[in-house]
């Protein structure tokens, strides 16, 4: 196809050089009058570039006339004018334009994709690799599926070290929790700092309980994640997590200003492009992939004492000093063999399945495709899981030099959270408690009672698992993308895209009256037990763009020009109600509630609009030197009155040294390319209406004049109250980006290395403003610019093909990559200083480190008071004050930066081996130079409440008498009450580790077997993830939901 000619200029230029050299050797002068004006007979041979075999069924176009090559690979034409240009194309090859000759031979280049993987595309325009200075990573979908065929985001960092996926120690491997991702570090403060909360005033600037498809709200609540583009359309992270991974063709990570400047106000955090497979023309091809996944909980980080050990600790600490009966009762339980493994009570071995079926076919004029996928993931917490159904239909129509494409997709998702609740509730239960009723063999509600002196009841969290508890979120999403490409000719190409996406969500959360949440309700609140919350969301996104591209080659000069306009509108609506008072556990219906728990529904409506225009100019000389520049202008509904538009730009240059004349071909250095860029991009990841003053109506009362009869007063006397004071001078944040890089390949491309160094500085970050009480505005949200953040770092990606024997089908490659990123705050505001004060207040939980935002310090620093350890004489912890003196009194004012959660280096390494039809992969992640706060030691050792279970380290290394050199304080019944341990450097530990990402083994059936079963290819495989973790802090992992190991069996076949 003609459009593909624009994206493989590197190959075309090489061909042109060969042809030029050939022409020079055979140059001769031909008189103009010796050339006939009409060729009466023209024969055009079409062959493959790699051989002399003729290609049949190749399309030959002259003007409006069409011809096809015969079985011998040529077509004969009559009466062709000598100035006409013929276009030759064939399925799977790049099209070419040639000036007619009496006998013409055209050699076509094979092209499996619209854009070669090594070339650059940012979703708006394309450039050959040699003709761009952009920093980007391209990941082939097939390679991605080798690593992990289930959750591609979690292992994407194996191919792109700049894409950082944060491991959440609380949500673990919850199938319904999306990970936090960023590119090259954090450019913003967390949402907890950027969004002000005030009692009694609802936030009308960000959607309440937004749809999972609402990418505007997703970006606000996750202000460091990149913009995600799926098939040219912006989507939320959850939307791409729910697509069929077998349909992914490629993923492109855009990292610097040259790569993202065309996105303007949206490109500050980088861009993640995801392109799904397009159907290939030809006879109908059917592909099926089936997978079975087994997930087992990884509880290796939990070290809990046995029933006997815990009972001994309790007795030594004096728990039973005044309650001998309780001790005797629990001792009897231990003697009877009760030693409950509470971690196994809410967990299971989950078994999931995934099925994917696609078909494709057609010819040069019409190509079609359809796909259907079903994915049922079962979590390791009982009752948790996620089910997705994906449907897609693709149509590609070729009319002359116009290509029309339409892709319609439907997604249905049903997410269920475990009725067993929080995993932490089970990890704290004592092993001498038996959760099962010996008579009914079901879960008992009450585990134990203890009186000393007040009676305390201990409830069984597993009780909730047997009730009709509901905690689900379902959604359906419909998306249609229509695109057109018109190859105008003479180097011009016009393309456009129009899309509309509609998603509807519904969340249902029913807590029956017997739920433990109401166990302590007094008798007069009997009819208030049981709640049902329902939230309905709708999200509509309309997106369109129009692009014009021009390319021109004159001798050694290559010119690329692209310009376009983008328009986007989103509408988000949300409404939620909560009813209370259900008289039966079976009445899981809104209509059966007695009363509204909230006086009015929680509702929100947000509309955003964006229009953006860009222009890009690229110039290349002789494939050696390249310059390019981009300018973007944006207008957004989020902008303020006095700053209604923003302008961003980028400039880049590259130098291909291997193309220089002084570069002599050798067996060591194959290619060497240097490139660099500077520029600015924007950030719209802040709340929607901060530049406008907002109000809400007072619907609970109406002002009516004295003496009014009440008739005709509708819409009269309705009051309003201020919810947000607009800042008409608010500016959108801006990120200044700098990047220098190098691509080098050695030993005939057996070894390739990419290195990039960067510096990103984000200014004018939007934060709340602290208003004194006397202003009268302390409860209203007012925002302004002020704070700045800098990220700088170095990333590398090294690949080596140690064995590459095509004849024997023997391949062995290794890969290692990494990123070093440093972030620091370069400017702060009064609000951040106020936030620091609040985080250091006695009313804030000081048993864990609270964030501090200090100029010159890291966003992810760990702030704690410096400790000298446990004093051997007194058993108290000794601290160092800010002035250097020693003290036994903990003071938040003495906190210091004791470490950083972010590692100095993180990345991955692995190897891939192929021996004939067998292939195997083994990959690992690593991080070095990271610190973490051991909250397990704080919560379950020194601050432990011995009424519940503890960490096994609570049994040893405790101070008991003067002279003891102990690691931990003396044992007490309730350490948090008697002698609390607050954030201390004693519990800041190194968190360096290596973890297995994936180990896989695959086998492809040989051709002889494929011929018998009439299959194009068939492959079976076994993949395991998270097999081990070496190093790291010794603390509990997966607090609210466990981590898991997975084993996946897969079968892929095509006919």
Least confident range from 700-704, 778-782, 1049-1053: namely 778-782
Q: Residue 22: what pLDDT? A: 34
Alpha-carbon gap, residue 4 to 15, rounded angstroms: 16
Q: In this predicted model, what pLDDT tens digit does every residue of 416-451 receive, in sequence order?
A: 999 999 999 999 999 999 999 999 999 999 999 887
Residue whose pair of structure tokens reads 């505005």 in the numeric block: 777
Average pLDDT over residues 593-619: 90
672 Cβ contact list (under 8 Å, min separation 6): 656, 657, 658, 663, 742, 743, 744, 745
* Element containing residue 892 per DSSP (H, E): none
Confidence category of residue 8, pLDDT binned at 50, 70, 90 = very low
Alpha-carbon gap, residue 485 to 488, rounded angstroms: 9
Q: Quick check: bond before 798 cis, omega within 30?
A: no
Q: Residue 777: what pLDDT? A: 64
Least confident range from 7-21, 305-319, 637-651, 794-808: namely 7-21
Higher pLDDT, 154 or 820: 820
Of 651, 680, 797, the C-alpha closest to 132 is: 651
Q: Residue 201: what pLDDT? A: 45
Provide the mean pLDDT of the chain.
88
Q: Cα–Cα–Cα angle for 228, 231, 233, nearest 5°?
A: 55
Higher pLDDT, 360 or 454: 360
Average pLDDT over residues 149-176: 88
Q: In this predicted model, what pLDDT tens digit does every residue of 442-500 receive, in sequence order?
A: 999 999 988 776 788 999 999 999 999 999 999 999 999 999 999 898 889 999 999 99
Q: Cα–Cα–Cα angle for 364, 229, 241, nearest 5°?
A: 100
- Could you confirm whether domain 2-108 is CATH 3.40.50.720? no
Q: Residue 698: what pLDDT? A: 82
Q: In this predicted model, what pLDDT tens digit does every residue of 34-73 receive, in sequence order?
A: 445 676 688 888 887 655 668 877 888 787 677 888 888 8
Least confident range from 44-58, 570-584, 647-661: namely 44-58
Residue whose pair of structure tokens reads 């259900």 in the numeric block: 582
Look at strands 625-640 and 455-459 and give their pairing.
Answer: unpaired
Confidence category of residue 1000, pLDDT binned at 50, 70, 90 = very high
Q: Where are the domains of the chain?
A: 2-108, 303-346+420-466, 861-898+933-990
Alpha-carbon gap, residue 850 to 46, rounded angstroms: 70
* Element containing residue 52 per DSSP (H, E): none
Cα torsion through 433, 438, 440, 441, rounded to 10? 70
> What are the E-state strand segments in 145-247?
163-166, 180-183, 227-230, 233-235
Alpha-carbon gap, residue 851 to 826, rounded angstroms: 16
What proportion of the chain, given as a percentage, has pLDDT over 90? 67
Higher pLDDT, 835 or 146: 835
Alpha-carbon gap, residue 862 to 878, rounded angstroms: 19
What proportion of the chain, given as a percentage, has pLDDT over 70? 91
Identify any residues that bridge with 796 across adjacent strands, giving them in sequence order.
755, 818
Alpha-carbon gap, residue 110 to 118, rounded angstroms: 15
Task: Decide: helix, strand or coil at residue 579.
Answer: strand
Q: Residue 2: what pLDDT? A: 39
What the block records as the tokens of 268 is 């500050």
pLDDT of residue 1046 exceeding 90, the answer is: yes
Alpha helix (H) residue ranges in 788-902: 830-839
Identify any residues that bridge with 827 across adjacent strands, giving them in sequence order.
788
Confidence category of residue 26, pLDDT binned at 50, 70, 90 = very low
Check: CB of residue 850 under 8 Å from CB of residue 820: no
Of 820, 753, 826, the C-alpha closest to 792 is: 820
Confidence category of residue 713, pLDDT binned at 50, 70, 90 = low
Average pLDDT over residues 970-977: 92
818 Cβ contact list (under 8 Å, min separation 6): 161, 795, 796, 905, 906, 907, 908, 926
């Amino acid at each position: 196809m003609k459009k593909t000619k624009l994206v493989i200029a590197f190959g075309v230029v090489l061909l042109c050089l060969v042809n030029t050299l050939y022409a020079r050797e055979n140059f001769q002068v031909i008189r103009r009058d010796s050339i006939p004006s009409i060729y009466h007979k023209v024969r055009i041979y079409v062959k493959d570039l790699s051989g002399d075999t003729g290609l049949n069924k190749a399309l030959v176009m002259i003007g409006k006339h069409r011809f096809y090559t015969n079985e011998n690979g040529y077509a004969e034409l009559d009466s062709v004018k000598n100035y006409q240009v013929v276009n030759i194309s064939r399925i799977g090859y790049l099209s070419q334009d040639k000036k007619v000759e009496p006998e013409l031979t055209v050699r076509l280049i094979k092209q499996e994709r619209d854009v070669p993987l090594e070339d650059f595309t940012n979703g708006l325009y394309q450039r050959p690799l040699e003709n761009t200075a952009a920093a980007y990573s391209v990941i082939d979908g097939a390679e991605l599926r080798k690593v992990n065929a289930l959750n591609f985001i979690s292992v994407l960092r194996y191919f792109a070290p700049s894409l950082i996926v944060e491991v959440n120690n609380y949500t673990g491997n919850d199938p319904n929790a999306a990970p936090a991702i960023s590119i090259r570090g954090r450019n913003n403060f967390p949402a907890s700092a950027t969004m002000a909360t005030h009692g009694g005033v609802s936030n009308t600037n960000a959607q309440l309980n937004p749809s999972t498809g609402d990418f505007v709200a997703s970006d606000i609540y996750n202000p460091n994640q990149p913009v995600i583009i799926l098939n040219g359309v912006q989507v939320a992270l959850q939307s791409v997590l729910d697509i069929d991974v077998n349909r992914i063709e490629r993923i492109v990570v855009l990292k610097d200003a040259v790569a993202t400047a065309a996105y303007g106000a949206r490109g500050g955090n980088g861009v993640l492009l995801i392109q799904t497979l397009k159907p290939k023309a030809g006879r109908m091809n059917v592909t099926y992939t089936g997978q079975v996944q087994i997930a087992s909980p990884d509880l290796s980080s939990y070290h809990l004492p046995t029933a006997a050990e815990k009972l001994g600790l309790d007795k030594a600490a004096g728990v039973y000093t005044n309650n001998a009966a309780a001790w005797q009762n629990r001792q009897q339980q231990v003697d009877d063999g009760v030693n409950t493994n509470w971690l196994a009570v809410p967990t299971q071995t989950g078994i999931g399945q995934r099925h994917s079926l696609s078909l494709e076919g057609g010819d040069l004029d019409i190509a079609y495709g359809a796909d259907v996928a079903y994915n049922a993931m079962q979590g390791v917490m009982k009752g948790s899981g996620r089910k997705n159904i994906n449907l897609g239909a693709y149509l590609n129509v070729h009319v002359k030099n116009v290509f029309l494409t339409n892709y319609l997709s439907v997604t249905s998702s049903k997410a269920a959270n475990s009725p067993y609740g929080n995993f932490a509730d089970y990890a704290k239960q004592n092993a001498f408690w038996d959760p099962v009723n010996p008579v009914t063999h079901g879960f008992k509600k009450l585990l134990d009672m203890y009186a000393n002196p007040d009676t305390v009841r201990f409830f069984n969290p597993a009780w909730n698992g047997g009730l009709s508890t509901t905690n689900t979120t379902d959604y359906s999403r419909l998306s249609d993308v229509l695109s057109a490409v018109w190859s105008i000719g003479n180097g011009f190409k016009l393309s456009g895209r129009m899309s509309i996406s509609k998603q509807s969500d519904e969340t249902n959360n029913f807590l029956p009256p017997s739920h433990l949440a109401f166990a302590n309700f007094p008798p007069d609140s009997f009819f208030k037990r049981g709640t049902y919350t329902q939230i309905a969301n709708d999200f509509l996104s309309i997106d369109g763009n129009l692009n014009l591209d021009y390319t021109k080659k004159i001798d050694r000069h290559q010119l690329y020009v692209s310009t376009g306009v983008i328009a986007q509108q989103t509408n988000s609506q949300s409404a939620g109600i909560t009813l209370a008072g259900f008289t039966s556990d079976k009445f899981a219906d809104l209509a059966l509630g007695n009363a509204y728990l909230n006086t009015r529904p929680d509702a929100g409506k947000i509309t955003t609009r964006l229009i953006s225009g860009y222009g890009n100019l690229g110039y290349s000389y002789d494939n050696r030197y390249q310059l390019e520049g981009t300018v973007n202008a944006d207008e957004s509904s989020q902008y303020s009155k006095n700053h209604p538009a923003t302008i961003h730009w980028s400039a880049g240059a590259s130098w291909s040294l291997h193309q220089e004349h002084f570069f002599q071909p050798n067996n060591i250095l194959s290619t060497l390319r240097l490139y660099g860029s500077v520029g600015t991009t924007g950030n719209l990841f802040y709340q929607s209406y901060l530049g406008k003053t907002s109000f809400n109506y007072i619907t609970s009362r109406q002002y009516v004049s004295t003496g009014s009869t009440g008739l005709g007063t509708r819409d009269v006397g309705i009051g309003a109250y201020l919810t947000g004071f607009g800042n008409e001078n608010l500016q959108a944040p801006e990120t200044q980006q700098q990047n220098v890089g190098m691509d080098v390949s050695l030993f005939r491309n057996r070894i390739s290395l990419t290195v990039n160094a960067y510096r990103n500085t984000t200014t004018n970050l939007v934060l709340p403003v602290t208003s004194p009480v006397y202003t009268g505005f302390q409860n209203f949200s007012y925002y302004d610019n002020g704070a700045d953040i800098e990220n700088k770092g170095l990333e590398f990606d090294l690949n080596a093909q140690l064995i590459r024997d095509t004849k024997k089908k023997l391949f062995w490659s290794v890969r290692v990559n990494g990123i070093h990123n440093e972030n620091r705050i370069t400017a702060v505001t009064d609000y951040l200083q106020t936030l620091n004060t609040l985080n250091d207040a006695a009313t804030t939980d000081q048993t864990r480190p609270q964030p501090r935002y200090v100029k010159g310090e890291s966003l992810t620093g760990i702030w704690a008071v410096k400790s000298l350890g446990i004093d051997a004489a007194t058993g108290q912890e000794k601290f160092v004050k800010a002035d250097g003196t020693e003290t036994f009194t903990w003071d938040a004012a003495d906190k210091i930066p004791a470490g950083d959660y972010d590692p100095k280096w993180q990345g991955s390494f692995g190897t891939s081996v192929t021996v004939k039809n067998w292939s195997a992969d083994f990959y690992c992640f690593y991080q070095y130079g990271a610190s973490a706060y051991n909250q397990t030691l704080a919560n379950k050792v020194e601050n432990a409440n011995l009424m519940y279970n503890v960490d096994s380290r609570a049994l040893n290394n405790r101070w008991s008498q003067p002279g003891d050199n102990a690691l931990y304080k003396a044992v007490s019944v309730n350490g948090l009450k008697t002698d609390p341990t607050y954030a201390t450097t004693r519990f800041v530990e190194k968190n360096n580790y290596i973890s297995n990402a994936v180990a896989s083994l695959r086998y492809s059936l040989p051709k002889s077997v494929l011929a018998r079963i009439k299959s194009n290819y068939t492959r079976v495989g076994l993949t395991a993830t998270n097999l081990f973790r070496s190093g790291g802090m010794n603390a509990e992992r997966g607090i609210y939901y466990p981590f898991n190991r997975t084993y996946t069996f897969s079968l892929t076949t095509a006919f």
